[in-house]
């Protein structure tokens, strides 16, 4: 579980910080965050100043109107406000310690501007957050020379400020708005860049699925009239040139192999005739030349088969009884290494019988070359697949060398020592044939020796046990 979490974290770290899409999104979001923060902070300050100015003007108008009415003798005791004016007004004593009169909303509250009054200020105009008022308010006060309550009293109006301007209100609102905008920018950037890179991902996936032996496929070319379309066209042009070069190489190998077969056959016949007529002293030399001609013929046959496999030339396909084919190949072997066959009848696959026989021949030849005393051949069903297993009791193949033996012309040290005349093409040809018919050829673990396992899909009529 811990390893899975570490791999997931590494995947997303690479996705966000290494990939072009991730880096572009991170950079865009970071720049946007700085920009939006500056804009929103400036907007917050402007909104705060505008709201404070509006509330201050309202408090000022209320205080001035009440002071004017007092001077005109219209107010002598009870205070009241008009619609649109501040609802909290107090008449505070000259020393700022007593509330002499107040509107209903301001009654029972301590003086709003006691500090300014005690210091003898003639005008109070500031933002304050007294405990008697929920939140903060704008305080405006005018000192009066004379009034029904005596000289020097101050008319004080308090206008509450909106909750947005509280200590936490505005920053919290700013944070919520910023996170919402950043989330939108993140999604939009990631989505937009992903859509822009979707054709590149498709081209990459199609390139990854290309078969090196079949270069006729082409990648998707998006009609974006830009760099991505040019990339797709360039990839297809490169594939076309590669296909032409590969076709020329295959034609050369095929033509050269065909042209060599007749001279080799003639040379083989002449050497066989010469072997019957020469004296005993010359016979070993002729016999050696005959073996070299046979090896050269085997190489030409293998090259021809590889050329056919690479070009994917269609071959007739028919139901093939894997057990019968294995029995015929085992019977063809001489009196060399003992071969034990365990063959389940009726294991039918759809393939070309000549090619399947070639796979069996190559595997048996390889097993005989490396076996100490015997080879075992097994044919059986394994679920929906047919299984062919060829196992020898030799020294085996190291796990790190098991894929190398399927490389063309690759030969391990033991193989070169046991059969210096080998071509290194038998096992690659066998694997290619197995893969052509939807199967596989691998080397499985074994207590002793090497165990080659070929799997092929069972034919539709091959699973009934006939």
Structure-block tokens of residue 186: 């993140």
The percent of residues in the chain predicted with pLDDT above 70, rounded, is 84
pLDDT at 328 over 70: yes
Summarize pLDDT for 402-423 with one digit per residue, the tens.
Answer: 888 888 777 676 666 555 556 6
Compute the average pLDDT of residues 351-357: 89
Quick one: pLDDT band at residue 280, thresholds 50, 70, 90?
confident
0.85 cut: is pTM over it? no
Q: What percent of the chain has pLDDT over 90?
A: 7
pLDDT computed for residue 387 by the predictor = 93
Confidence of residue 11 (pLDDT cuts 50, 70, 90): low
N- to C-terminal Cα distance for the chain? Answer: 48
Contact by Cβ (8 Å): 347, 319? no
pLDDT of residue 417: 59
C-alpha separations of 262 from 99, 257, 258, 269, 287 in Å: 128, 9, 8, 11, 20
Give residue-wise pLDDT tens across range 57-98: 998 998 898 888 888 888 877 788 888 887 889 898 888 888
Q: How far apart are CA 140 and CA 121, in angstroms?
A: 12
Mean pLDDT within 387-411: 84
CATH class (in words) of the domain with range 227-310: mainly alpha
Question: Is the pLDDT confidence value at 430 over 80?
Answer: yes
Give the pLDDT score at 1. Answer: 64
Instruction: Find, among 358, 211, 221, the residue nearest to 298 by Cα.
Output: 358
The pLDDT of residue 81 is 81
User: For residue 22, which of 193, 149, 242 has the smallest C-alpha distance?
Assistant: 193
Fold observed for domain 315-457: Heat Shock Protein 90 (3.30.565)
Q: Is the pLDDT of residue 454 over 90?
A: yes
- Is 17 a residue whose pLDDT tops 80? no
pLDDT value for 453: 93
pLDDT of residue 132: 77
Average the pLDDT over 387-394 and give the result: 90
Contact 157, 66 (CB under 8 A): yes
Comparing 17-31, 41-55, 104-118, 241-255, the range with the smallest average pLDDT is: 241-255
Local confidence band at 465 (pLDDT 50, 70, 90 cut-offs): very low
Instruction: Provide the residue ranges of all domains of the chain, joining segments of one domain with +.
Output: 1-201, 227-310, 315-457
How far is Cα 463 from Cα 348, in angstroms, rounded to an integer?
7
What is the per-residue pLDDT for 312?
66
Render pLDDT for 192-238 as a digit per residue (tens, 0 to 9): 888 877 787 788 787 777 765 566 777 778 777 777 788 888 888 88
- β-sheet bridge partners, residue 135: none
> Rounded to an integer, what distance in angstroms lies between the CA atom of residue 437 and that of residue 429?
13
pLDDT of residue 316: 83
Residue 170: per-residue pLDDT: 65
Q: Which residues contact 17 (CB under 8 A, 6 or more apart)?
A: 23, 26
Q: What's the count of helices (H) and strands (E) in the chain, helices before strands?
A: 10, 12
Query: Does the pLDDT of residue 327 top 70, yes or no?
Result: yes
pLDDT of res. 389: 92
357, 424, 207, 308: CA torsion to nearest 10: -40
Cβ-based neighbours of 319, under 8 Å, separated by 6 or more: 348, 349, 350, 459, 461, 462
Average pLDDT over residues 126-148: 84
345 vs 77, higher pLDDT? 345
| Beta-strand runs (E) in 96-136 | 99-102, 123-128
Q: Is the pLDDT of residue 317 over 70?
A: yes
pLDDT of amino acid 463: 44
Query: What is the residue-averaged pLDDT of the chain?
Result: 80
Rounded-to-integer distance, Cα 53 and Cα 317, Å: 92
Nearest by Cα to 125 from 103, 155, 102, 152:
155
Averaged over 338-356, what is the pLDDT?
A: 89
Interval 148-160 mean pLDDT: 88
Query: Residue 43's pLDDT is what?
Result: 78
d(C-alpha 288, C-alpha 266), whole Å: 16
Q: Taking a C-beta distance cutoff of 8 angstroms, is the pair 187, 180 a contact?
A: no
| Domain 1-201 class in CATH | alpha beta
Q: Between the ranges 151-155, 262-266, 458-462, where is the mean pLDDT highest? A: 151-155
Selected residue with higher pLDDT from 254 and 133: 133
């Amino acid at each position: 579980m811990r390893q899975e979490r570490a791999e997931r974290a590494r995947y997303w770290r690479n996705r966000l910080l290494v990939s072009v899409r991730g880096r572009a999104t991170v950079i865009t979001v970071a720049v946007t965050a700085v920009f939006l923060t500056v804009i929103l902070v400036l907007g917050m300050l402007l909104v705060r100043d505008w709201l404070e100015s509006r509330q201050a003007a309202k408090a000022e108008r209320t205080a001035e109107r009440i002071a004017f009415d007092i001077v005109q003798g219209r107010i002598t005791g009870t205070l009241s406000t008009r619609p649109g004016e501040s609802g909290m007004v107090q008449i505070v004593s000259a020393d700022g310690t007593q509330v002499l009169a107040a509107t209903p909303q301001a009654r029972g509250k301590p003086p709003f501007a006691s500090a300014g009054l005690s210091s003898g200020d003639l005008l109070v105009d500031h933002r304050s957050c007294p405990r008697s008022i929920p939140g903060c308010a704008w305080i405006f006060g005018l000192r009066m020379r004379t009034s029904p309550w005596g000289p020097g009293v101050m008319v004080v109006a308090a206008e509450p400020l909106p909750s947005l301007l509280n200590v936490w209100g505005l920053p919290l609102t700013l944070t919520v708005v910023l996170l919402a905008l950043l989330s939108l920018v993140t999604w939009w950037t990631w989505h937009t860049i992903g859509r822009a890179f979707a054709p590149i991902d498709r081209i990459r996936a199609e390139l990854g699925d290309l078969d090196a032996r079949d270069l006729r496929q082409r990648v998707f070319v998006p009609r974006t009239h830009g760099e991505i379309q040019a990339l797709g066209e360039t990839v297809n042009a490169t594939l076309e040139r590669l296909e032409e070069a590969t076709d020329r190489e295959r034609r050369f190998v095929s033509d050269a192999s065909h042209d060599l077969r007749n001279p080799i056959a003639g040379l083989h016949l002449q050497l066989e005739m010469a072997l019957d007529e020469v004296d005993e002293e010359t016979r070993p030399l002729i016999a050696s030349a005959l073996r070299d001609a046979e090896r050269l013929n085997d190489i030409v046959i293998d090259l021809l088969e590889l050329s056919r496999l690479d070009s994917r030339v269609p071959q007739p396909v028919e139901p093939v009884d894997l057990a019968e084919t294995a029995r015929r190949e085992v019977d063809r072997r001489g009196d060399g290494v003992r071969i034990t066959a365990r063959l389940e009848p009726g294991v039918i696959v759809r393939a070309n019988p000549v090619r399947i026989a070639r796979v069996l021949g190559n595997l048996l030849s390889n097993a005989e070359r490396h076996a100490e005393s015997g080879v075992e051949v097994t044919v059986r069903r394994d679920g929906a697949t047919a299984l062919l297993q060829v196992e020898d009791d030799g020294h085996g193949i190291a796990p790190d060398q098991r894929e190398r033996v399927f490389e063309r012309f690759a030969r391990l040290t033991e193989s070169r020592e046991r059969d210096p005349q080998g071509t290194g093409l038998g096992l690659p040809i066998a694997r290619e044939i197995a893969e052509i018919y939807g199967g596989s050829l691998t080397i499985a673990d074994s207590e002793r020796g090497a165990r080659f396992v070929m799997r092929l899909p069972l034919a539709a009529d091959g699973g009934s046990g006939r």
